[in-house]
């Protein structure tokens, strides 16, 4: 059983939906295709929701028009009048729910996270409907399923956490019979349902995560993430034009990359695959014959494979010079962060046990808010809290290599040469990644320089030996 996931740009027009359908149908059955909303639709839905909340009918209508136009264009690509009509009926019904929900938001004069989730879910629902109809148009049995009856989550709207055991039960009851009847199942990415039955979402870019969740729930042999780049690259190709495909990468390495900013995978994507040892392949719908990247338990590694940066973070230090024991302060910080839903990305403690350093996700209101919040909760601990906004984490990822003193020294030499101020450093005990914290404005320059230092020389050598195996991304794109 194979699960294939198609991202927004891979289903952004009638032609792209047809191409994605053909790719899915070329895989052996049984198969599940997980789809995102068409490119631009989720942003337009959020824009419509915000416009409705502030009662701006012109902006709401403009955003809704973008969505309707996109879906109409894809509908137009379905040749069979019957399939087009059937798909239109469902799309129209979903868009009516959208309108009714926008009316409710307008009436309430504000946008709750629950309403926001109900609104954005309509993008994936329309696309799943259109993709299934396109597959039937191509002569194959296909059924769309909306995963707000399958993927069970907690109630954290906008960033819900799945319940894998319950999801498995639902998938067995609702998806398996459709597969057994010979259908290709087309499932909505991104969405689930909370304890009260309301639609939830898994966070922006969450369709990747839906694919591995469904893959695990259905004991898939492989999950394929079909996107607009030919695999996981050695850096974000928008920032580093010489970035190249990494052919093989371990679960640990992929998780570090995804967590530290490689947008090609939602940060949580790999988790469900790890327990069941399901390989995850990243492939391009624009270059479907390229081998892509395979993510698996063990991948050969003796070097840094990729460099990435995650921006928009806060570096917070907590000084407790008078405290006998750091534990009460640390536990208070974790409690507050947990209660406020703030993710802590990295923690370190000074050997004198007088200072803790945290890298956290940016919070609403920035440093000022975070500081107020903590001061109110650490009142009796006499801690001094200092926040540094607009920082980025750089990660150089490669099992083994990241753990060596040579790599660390090289990284610092490069950053020093580039005059990048290093605010904090962390070489993880697992040796999968070297992490440095820098000012956000230095991140792009630092990534380019680290890529030059760690990746280019290695690829230049292997290219000399095997000229065509590691093609430049730009060459691959030219072929396309
Ligand atoms: P999809 O719509 O298919 O989910 P995304 O836009 O979410 O696609 O993710 C693919 C994008 O991720 C690429 O176009 C690329 O710009 C970006 N990206 C960032 N870092 C990396 C990386 N290390 N490797 C590949 N792509 C990356
Ligand atoms: N459509 C959602 C988003 O734009 C989910 C996804 O594309 O994975 O974030
Ligand atoms: Mg994505």
Residue 247 lies in a domain: no
Q: How many angstroms does the Cα of residue 240 sit away from the middle of ligand 1?
A: 13
Give, in order, the Cα–Cα distances in Å from 410 to each of 244, 413, 426.
21, 5, 14
Separation of alpha carbons 287 and 267, rounded Å:
24
Cβ of 8 closer than 6 Å to ligand 1, yes or no, is: yes
Q: Where are the beta strands (DSSP E) in 285-365?
A: 293-296, 306-319, 344-349, 355-361
Domain-ending residue, one of 177, 198, 228:
228
Q: Mention every residue, 6+ apart, whose C-beta is less than 8 A from residue 323.
A: 329, 354, 381, 382, 383
What is the distance in A from the centroid of ligand 3 to the CA of 430? 27
Alpha-carbon distance of 47 to 353, in angstroms, equals 47
What's the gap in Å between 401 CA and the centre of ligand 2? 33
Query: How far is the centre of ligand 2, averaged over its atoms, from the C-alpha of 188 (Å)?
Result: 10
Are 319 and 221 within one domain? Answer: no
Expressed as residue numbers, the domain containing 180 is 2-228
Question: What pairing do the DSSP bridges indicate for beta strands 191-193 and 222-227?
Answer: unpaired
Give the residues across from 426 on adjacent strands. 435
The best mutation among 189, 201, 226, 285 to test binding of ligand 2, ranked by most ligand atoms within 8 Å of the C-beta, falls on 189
Per-residue pLDDT, 147: 98
Q: Counting Cβ atoms within 10 Å, is residue 388 exposed (0-12), middle (13-18) or buried (19+)?
A: middle
Position in ligand 1 atom list of the atom nearest CA 234:
23
User: Which CATH number goes with the domain that contains 348?
Assistant: 3.30.2130.10
Helix 14-25, helix 57-76: angle, nearest 10: 50
Ligand sitting nearest the alpha carbon of 282: 1
Distance from Cα 93 to the centre of ligand 1, integer Å: 32
In a domain, 290, yes or no: no
Kindly state whether residues 217 and 334 are assigned to the same domain.
Answer: no
Are 18 and 105 within one domain? yes
Helices (H), 277-404: 327-340, 366-377
User: Which numbered atom of ligand 1 lies nearest the CA of 231?
Assistant: 25
In this structure, are 203 and 319 located in the same domain?
A: no
Q: Are 207 and 34 within 8 A, CB to CB?
A: yes
Residue 7 phi, psi dihedral angles, 5° rounding: -80, 175
Residue 309 phi, psi (nearest 5): -140, 140
206 Cα: distance to centroid of ligand 3 (angstroms): 7
Which among 43, 188, 206, 237 is the best mutation to test ligand 1's pocket, defined by most ligand atoms within 8 Å of the CB?
237
| Contact yes or no for 295/251 (Cβ under 8 A) | yes
Name the token pair of 461.
């050598």
Tokens 């030499």: give the residue: 413
- Inside any domain, residue 33: yes
Kindly state whether residue 216 falls inside one of the protein's structural domains: yes
Looking at the fold, whether 188 and 320 belong to one and the same domain comes out as no
Whether residue 156 lies inside any domain: the answer is yes
**What is the whole-number distance in angstroms between the Cα of residue 262 and the centre of ligand 1?**
7
Q: Same domain for 353 and 218?
A: no
CA 447 to centroid of ligand 1, rounded, Å: 16
Among residues 228, 252, 283, the one where a domain terminates is 228
* Nearest CA residue ID for atom 9, ligand 2: 204
Domain contains 283: no
Residue that has been written with the tokens 């369709």 in this structure: 207
Q: What is the pLDDT along the chain (480 residues), one digit of tens a residue?
A: 999 999 999 999 999 999 999 999 999 999 999 999 999 999 999 999 999 999 999 999 999 999 999 999 999 999 999 999 999 999 999 999 999 999 999 999 999 999 999 999 999 999 999 999 999 999 999 999 999 999 999 999 999 999 999 999 999 999 999 999 999 999 999 999 999 999 999 999 999 999 999 999 999 999 999 999 999 999 999 999 999 999 999 999 999 999 999 999 999 999 999 999 999 999 999 999 999 999 999 988 889 999 999 999 999 998 887 767 778 888 888 988 888 888 888 888 876 768 889 999 887 778 888 888 888 887 777 788 889 999 999 999 999 888 888 999 999 999 999 999 999 888 765 689 999 999 999 999 999 999 999 997 665 555 555 444 334 444 443 322
C-alpha 157 – ligand 1 centre gap (Å): 24
Let me know if residue 165 belongs to a domain: yes
CATH classification of the domain holding 96: 3.40.1160.10
> Which residue's CA lies nearest to atom 10 of ligand 1?
264
Note whether 222 and 319 are same-domain residues.
no
Q: Given ligand 1 and candidates 188, 231, 236, which is best to mutate, with the most ligand atoms within 8 Å of its CB?
A: 236
Q: Residues lining ligand 2, CB < 6 A?
A: 7-8, 36-37, 42, 123, 189-190, 204-207
End-to-end Cα spacing for the chain: 29
64 contact partners, CB below 8 Å, separation of at least 6 = 44, 48, 98, 99, 102
Q: What is the pLDDT of residue 363?
A: 76
Q: What is the pLDDT of residue 125?
A: 98
Domain count, the chain: 2
64 and 189 share one domain: yes
Q: Does 12 contact ligand 1 (Cβ within 6 A)?
A: no
Which atom in ligand 2 lies closest to the alpha carbon of residue 203? 9
Where do runs of H (alpha helix) occur along 303-404? 327-340, 366-377
The pLDDT of residue 461: 56
197 and 319 share a domain?
Answer: no
Determine how many CB atoms are found less than 10 A away from the CB of residue 410: 18
Q: Ligand 1 centroid to 237 CA: how many Å? A: 8
* 264 Cβ inside 6 Å of ligand 1: yes
CB 307 within 8 A of CB 396: yes
Give the number of other CB atoms < 10 A from CB of residue 197: 8
Note whether 105 and 53 are within 8 A (CB).
Answer: yes
Neighbours of ion ligand 3 (CB under 5 A): 7, 205
Q: Which of 359, 472, 328, 332 is nearest to 425 (CA)?
A: 359
Ligand 1 pocket residue status of 34, Cβ below 6 Å: no
| Neighbouring-strand partners of residue 193 | 152, 199
Instruction: Give, as one character, the DSSP assignment of residue 440.
Output: G
Return the closest-CA partner of residue 330 out of 381, 389, 387. 381
Domain C-terminal end among 197, 228, 259: 228
Q: Which atom of ligand 1 is nearest to the CA of 227?
A: 3
Q: Which two tokens stand for residue 312?
A: 């928009």
Specify the residue with its C-alpha closest to ligand 2, atom 8: 205
pTM (2 d.p.)? 0.92
In a domain, 85, yes or no: yes
Give the pLDDT confidence score for residue 458 in this predicted structure: 63
237 lines ligand 1 (CB under 6 A): yes
**Nearest by Cα to 250 from 287, 284, 194, 293:** 293
Tell me how far the alpha carbon of residue 264 lies from the centroid of ligand 1, in angstroms: 3
The residue whose CA is least distant from atom 26 of ligand 1 is: 264
């Amino acid at each position: 059983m194979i699960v294939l996931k198609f991202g927004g740009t891979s289903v952004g027009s009638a032609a792209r939906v047809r191409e994605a359908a053909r790719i899915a149908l070329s895989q052996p059955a049984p198969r599940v295709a997980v789809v995102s909303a068409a490119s631009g639709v989720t942003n337009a839905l959020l824009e419509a929701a915000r416009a409705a909340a502030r009662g701006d009918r012109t902006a709401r209508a403009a955003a809704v028009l973008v969505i309707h136009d996109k879906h109409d264009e894809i509908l137009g690509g379905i040749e069979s009048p019957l399939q087009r009509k059937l798909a239109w009926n469902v799309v129209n019904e979903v868009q009516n729910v959208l309108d009714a929900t926008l009316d409710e938001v307008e009436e309430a004069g504000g946008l709750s996270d629950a309403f926001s989730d109900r609104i954005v879910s309509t993008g994936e629902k329309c696309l799943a409907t259109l993709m299934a109809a396109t597959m039937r148009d191509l002569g194959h049995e296909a059924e769309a399923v909306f995963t707000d009856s399958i993927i069970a989550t907690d109630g954290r709207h906008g960033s819900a956490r799945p319940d894998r055991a319950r999801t498995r039960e639902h998938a067995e009851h609702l998806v398996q019979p459709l597969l057994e009847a010979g259908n290709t199942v087309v499932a909505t990415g991104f969405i689930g349902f909370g304890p009260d039955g309301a639609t939830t979402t898994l966070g922006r870019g969450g369709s990747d995560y839906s694919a591995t969740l469904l893959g695990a729930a259905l004991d898939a042999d492989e999950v394929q993430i079909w996107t607009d780049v030919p695999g996981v690259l050695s850096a974000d190709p928008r920032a580093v034009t010489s970035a190249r495909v990494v052919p093989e990468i371990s679960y640990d390495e992929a998780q570090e990359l995804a967590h530290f900013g490689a947008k090609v995978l939602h940060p949580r994507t790999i988790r469900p695959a790890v327990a069941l040892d399901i390989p995850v392949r990243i492939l391009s719908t624009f270059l479907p014959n390229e081998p892509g990247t395979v993510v698996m338990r063990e991948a050969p590694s003796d070097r840094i494979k990729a460099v990435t940066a995650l921006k928009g973070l806060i570096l917070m230090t907590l000084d407790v010079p008078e405290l006998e024991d750091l534990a009460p302060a640390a536990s208070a910080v974790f409690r507050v962060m947990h209660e406020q839903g703030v993710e802590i990305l990295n923690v370190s403690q000074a050997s004198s046990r007088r200072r803790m350093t945290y890298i956290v996700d940016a919070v609403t209101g920035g440093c000022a808010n975070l500081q107020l919040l903590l001061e109110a909760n650490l009142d009796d601990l006499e801690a001094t809290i200092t926040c540094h906004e607009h920082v980025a984490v750089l990660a150089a990822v490669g099992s083994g290599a990241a753990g060596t003193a040579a790599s660390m020294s090289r990284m610092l030499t490069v950053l020093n040469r580039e005059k990048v101020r290093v605010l904090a450093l962390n070489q993880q005990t697992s040796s999968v990644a070297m992490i440095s914290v820098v000012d956000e404005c230095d991140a792009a320059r630092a990534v380019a320089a680290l890529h030059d230092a760690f990746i280019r020389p290695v690829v230049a050598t292997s290219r000399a030996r095997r000229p065509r195996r590691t093609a430049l991304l730009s060459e691959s794109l030219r072929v396309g």
